[in-house]
Amino acid sequence: MDFAQFKELMDAVPERDRKDYSKLRQYCCIGGNVWPQYQKHLEGASTLREFFEAIYADDACKFDNAWAYWARMQHKRWADRFEPERMMRDVMFTANGILFEKDGLELVISVPVSGKRKRADVYVFPESGFNEAAAEQVASLNGRFSCAGMEFDGTYDVFVADRALILEEWELDKMGYRKNDKRASKSC
């Protein structure tokens, strides 16, 4: 498809989906066309779904906002597309979420799941090791703690995504700020 067809399809999106597709359009378009890195995806597609699925299938795009928004919108299980330092599959959790233990205290973090199966995968990534925009940050933890039988000691942001709990480790500099620039630009 070309950009004119893309615009026609975007304008014809049902009202209930218009907000999401409008956001995707913001992430994909500039100056009357799609961003150059998405041109091949556009040309190879005949529908909006094919276009966004092509972006999602392209690992070179996995740090882009369009990729992340489509993953969230479609409830994709995307964490395996990145390289975790550690992971555990099918961690059983309470009715409310996954249990963290720190200094004798317990913290339960809810993980979005559908159906009756109360299990999720737990991933541990280095700083900037995955596309944060595809997940929701729910907490930050510092110090020694445990979760899902794994021991941790450091500073972590905690994210949730569809059937996934994600911990991202990062370091503090001498001034107490993030050591590395977390928002470094990565695009396909």
Percentage of residues in the chain having pLDDT higher than 90:
61
- How confident is the model over 40-83, as pLDDT tens digits? 999 999 999 999 999 999 999 999 999 999 999 999 999 999 99
- Residue 185 is given by DSSP the state -
What is the model's pLDDT at position 83?
95
Look-up of token digits 């969230």: 72
Indicate the pairing of strand 164-170 with strand 119-125.
parallel
| Average pLDDT score over residue span 9-35 | 95
d(CA 7, CA 77): 29
DSSP-H helix ranges across the chain: 3-11, 18-28, 39-43, 48-57, 65-73
How far from the centroid of its chain's Cα atoms is residue 37's Cα? 20
